[in-house]
Chains A and B, each alone.
Chain A
Amino acid sequence: MRGALWALFRREVAVARRLGGGGLTGVSFMLALVIVVPFAVGPDLNLLRRIGPAMLWIAALLATLLGLDRLFQADLEDGSLDALRLGGVPLELVVVVKCAAHWCTTGLPLLLVTPVFGLLFALDGAALAGVAASLAVGTPALTLVGAIGAALTAGFRRGGLLLAVLTVPLAIPVLIFGVAAAGAASPGAIVPFLMPFLVLCGLSLLALAGAPFAAAAALRLMGE
């Protein structure tokens, strides 16, 4: 079974790369947002430094949602979902593997460019490290929570908006603690880094424990 799951992971990554989407789309989107913000709020470095972590988190959230609507929809349309359900592997594990592949092609590139993009907000080394660490443990939760929405909207042609409406409320706790942890290293922070960071880790683990079951249940309904 491990071999089959690894084969699925490799196929998912190959599909994401072939589509030219995945990482590059998310990174381009984040770049656009990050470049626009300093122009919009003006060259006040202290202000930029204060809102920087939050802006990077919002960009990461939206960039994650961007490609997520096709996570299961493509498989439903071309019949792959039926094949995946008949492989002898629990559908919940299929969801986990697909989320892992999606995170590696979307979340990981975001993570890698964050320190560079953070410079546009005049973040110093400690703040950059805080943002990167919080994104590293927080973005898996965004992907997993988004997978529930992706499974529920897989049958809809234009499900992207509905996906965002369904997912964003569930992602709010992740965003709150993510920004709190990311901002803890910035000047004027009120909470220490570790507390929100640990809550963020907990949220990711909670999403890993729950989301695959919810998404798999939605996908089974979709097959009917």
Chain B
Amino acid sequence: MQDGGLHVRGLAVARNGQPILTDLGFTLAPGRALAVTGPNGIGKSSLLRALAGLLPPAAGEVALRLGRDDDRALGERLHYLGHGNGAKAVLTAGTNLRFLRRWGGGGGLSPAEALEAVGLGACIDIPLGFLSAGQRRRVAGLLVADRPLWLLDEPATALDRDAEAMLTDLLTRHLSSGGLAVLALHAPLALPMAQLRLSPA
């Protein structure tokens, strides 16, 4: 039996029959973060979607072993934040988070607390469509449902400097409580992270 953490072995990802990633393997221990870097179009987003199980891998396996709650499927133990935010523009920040909390299994902060934590406490009753791109980016379900693995696809997009510091802070807290994170990044975050650089074959 291997140690706990995220284990990826022999992962291959193809899109439209074209192989994008082949034979990718790594292990990420609890409390650690992995930064996936590389040029545009190299397959960072595809890798994250494959890890989330949203894109069925052509080969290989992804396993998350944490001792606790191992009976839940992988998809129920991770947060995936893609280019979209997963929230509805016509609903208020509070309504969105209340739904994401329910849908994600809960266990995290309340919507009001989560918005306070990202500096948007005053926006709870404002429809997301009226918020700026950077503010919308902060209204994600990461904090309202407690899930150990965070898969973040360029999470700092549209964030200003303060919000980026907030993100680093949230990530640090998540990691120190035994969580894991895989991030697709272009600009480095001020956080100790393992590096995975994807480069053309």
A residues apposed to B, CB below 8 Å: 3-4, 7-8, 10-11, 14-15, 18-19, 74, 77-80, 82-89, 223-224
Q: Mark B residues whose CB is within 8 Å of A.
A: 15, 49, 52-56, 72-73, 75-76, 78-91, 95, 98-100, 102-105, 127, 141
CB contact under 8 A between A79 and B84, given known A86-B76, A223-B49: yes
Nearest Cβ on chain A to B107's Cβ, whole angstroms: 13
Partner of A85, one of B54, B83, B90, B95: B54
Known contacts A78-B85, A79-B86; A15 and B72 CB within 8 A of each other: no
Indicate if the CB atoms of A88 and B52 lie closer than 8 Å: no
Say yes or no: B95 contacts A80, CB within 8 Å: no
Given contact pairs A82-B82, A224-B55, A87 touches B91 in the complex (Cβ within 8 A): no
Residue from B73, B83, B98, B104 within 8 A of A79 (CB atoms): B83
- Bound CA span A190–B100, Å: 53
Kindly list chain A residues whose C-beta atoms are within 8 Å of the C-beta of B87: 78-80
Q: In the complex, are the beta carbons of A80 and B52 less than 8 A apart?
A: no
The secondary-structure label for the interface of chain A is helix
Q: Which residues of the other chain, A, contact B105 by a CB distance below 8 angstroms?
A: 87-88
Contacting pair B99 A7 (CB below 8 A): yes
Is the CB–CB distance between A88 and B84 below 8 Å?
no
B75–A86 CB distance below 8 A: yes
State A18–B82 Cα separation when bound (angstroms). Answer: 25
CA distance A19 to B127 in the complex (A): 12
B75 contacts across to A, CB distance below 8 A: 85-86, 88
6 contacts between A and B (CB under 8 A): A11-B88, A11-B91, A74-B88, A78-B85, A79-B86, A223-B54
Q: Is the CB of A87 within 8 A of B103?
A: yes
The interface residues of chain B lying within 8 Å CB-to-CB of A79 are: 81-87
Q: Which residues of A contact B104 (CB under 8 A)?
A: 83, 86-87
- Least CB distance, A52 to chain B, in whole angstroms: 37
